[in-house]
Amino acid sequence: MTLLAERSQRRFYDNWEFLPEEKRRILMRENLDQYIRFAADSLPFYRDRLASYESSASAPLKNVPVLTSADLRDILPPVSDRLVAGGVKDYTVFQSGGTTGVPKTTLFSHAELERLNLPNARGFFALGLNENDRVGNLFAVGGLYMTFIHINRMLQQYGCMNFPFSNHTPVDFVHTVVKLFNVNCLTGIASVVMNCLRGMSEIGMEGIKIEKILYGGEHLYEADKREIRERYGAKVIAAPGYGTVDTWYLGYQCLDCPTGVFHAHDDEVYLEVVNEETGELCDKGEVGMLYATTFPRRITPIVRYRVGDRTKWVNEPCGCGRTTPLFKLLGRGDDVLRIGYDSVDYAAIQEFVLQFEGLSGTIQMEKVRDQGKDRLIIRIETRLSPEQRSIVAQKLEETLLEVRPSLRDFVKKGTTWPVRFELVDLNTLPRNPRTGKLMRVIDAIGDA
């Protein structure tokens, strides 16, 4: 069955996607009320925090404290059980970023993992996945990574042909299997899929037709999409899911969504776009910080989590007919850069650089996209002489990869470019002309 035939037979995955807005809003507020009660009743941690919840206010969570990534580290195992409701122990532990030493974790009960099938499948359906598709799953597995596992589960439940390659299968074997079984769809982290396509095309694309690239984890920018369309003939290149392992699936793309725009799963999550200077909710079109409250997360309730992405609600309704609202992601709003699928945070880089003599704490990190791959550039102001700088820069590059095995693996596999350190004169890094603040972190997305 063709993509179009499938869509015309059944336009949406479930009823929620086309409920009238008023009806959806009522149900969403009921979900929120119920979830807040559950969190306050289940955990002493939330009892005081949620006392300021105002059920009938237009911004009901406005006075509720924000939950941050650093908070989660302190209240989740292995550090503490404060966020674990009812002393539950039968959960799966996933890693949610973190670098060396103690991993930052996120816990999902097995029922919650099953619940992920709904938003996951909704996204794949919206991009035209059908029962005739043969899907190669290239998502990351091992090391307590989460995505491969639940994509695999979702594909089984969805009912199409499933090839669990993961990110570890050598490209020549992927090539052989893709050709033998007419695999027509690849799903995975964007840069892994790009790498795989490039590797396969070096072997030869005769008899291979990849029609659908359903990526996640990072954006595929227009230049990357053009390459995939022109060189490999893919027709659908889009992201079926946007979410974080600390929260849930927050959004999904349909065939009408441009890069960075997503429909909200607003039956699963309560999303706020907040102006952090005023504390008010942003109007449509106004850029703010995305916060998520995730109804299906029960063993570790997540209320008002600061996701860390700058976001705005999109004014216009979507051409696809779905009434789930649209939001646009505008890059990381905090001090974290996603390099491949390692999250490099500014504070960790500061701490790392501190160990070296002669370097200032005036540091800027920038993510650039080069030929479809991420590169991390770290610029540091210094008084060192030019001769000393090149020696120290090389030492920094080597040592950083030693202490960040996750990044090292991606560099070694060619998924991301090697990190580059640039040591520059004092007072030469760009400052914000208005505030004089150092521009500490620059993301690759600039299409706000």
CA–CA gap between residue 96 and residue 77 (Å, rounded) = 12
Mark the segment that binds Zn ion (CB under 5 A) among 11-19, 226-234, 270-278, 311-319.
Answer: 311-319
- Residue 73 vs 322, nearer CB to Zn ion: 322
* Residue spans of alpha helices (H) in 127-170: 147-158
Rounded Cα distance between 405 and 147, Å, is: 19
Q: Which of 234, 271, 318, 401 binds Zn ion (CB under 5 A)?
A: 318
Token digits of residue 200: 């396969």
Minimal distance in Å, beta carbon 254 to Zn ion?
3
Q: Which two tokens stand for residue 379?
A: 């610029």
Q: Does 320 bind Zn ion (CB under 5 A)?
A: yes
DSSP state string for 343-372: EEEHHHHHHHHHTSTTEEEEEEEEEEEETT
163 or 327, CB closer to Zn ion?
327
The residues with which 271 forms a beta bridge, in sequence order, are 292
Q: Binding of Zn ion at residue 85 (CB under 5 A)?
A: no
Beta strands 236-238 and 336-339, pairing class: unpaired
Alpha-carbon Rg for the chain in angstroms: 22
Q: Least distance (Å) from Zn ion to the CB of residue 253? A: 8
Which of the ranges 40-48, 81-89, 146-154, 319-327 carries the binding residues for Zn ion, by CB under 5 A?
319-327
Min dist CB 19 to Zn ion, Å, is 15
Distance CA 193, CA 394 (A): 30
| Sole window of 60-68, 227-235, 269-277, 312-320 interacting with Zn ion (rule: CB under 5 A) | 312-320
* Residue among 81 and 256 whose Cβ is closer to Zn ion: 256
Give min distance, CB of 267 to Zn ion, in A. Answer: 16
When the beta carbons of 53 and 262 are compared against Zn ion, the nearer one is 262
Based on CB atoms, which residue is closest to Zn ion, 94 or 124? 124
Q: What share of the chain is helix, strand, coil (3-state, %, to 5)?
A: 35, 25, 40
Q: How far is the CB of 160 from Zn ion (least distance, A)?
A: 22
Could you tell me how many residues of this chain bind Zn ion (CB under 5 A)?
Answer: 5
Contact letters (x/-) for Zn ion, 237-276, by CB under 5 A?
Answer: -----------------x-x--------------------
Closest CA to 74 of 48, 42, 102: 102
Q: Does residue 207 sit in helix, strand or coil?
A: coil
Residue 338 to residue 376: CA distance in whole angstroms: 9
CB atoms within 10 A of CB 31: 17
Shortest spacing between CB 319 and Zn ion, in angstroms: 6
**Shortest Å, Cβ 186 to Zn ion:** 22
Nearest to Zn ion of 261, 365 (CB atom): 261
Query: Could you list the residues that contact Zn ion (CB under 5 A)?
Result: 254, 256, 318, 320, 322
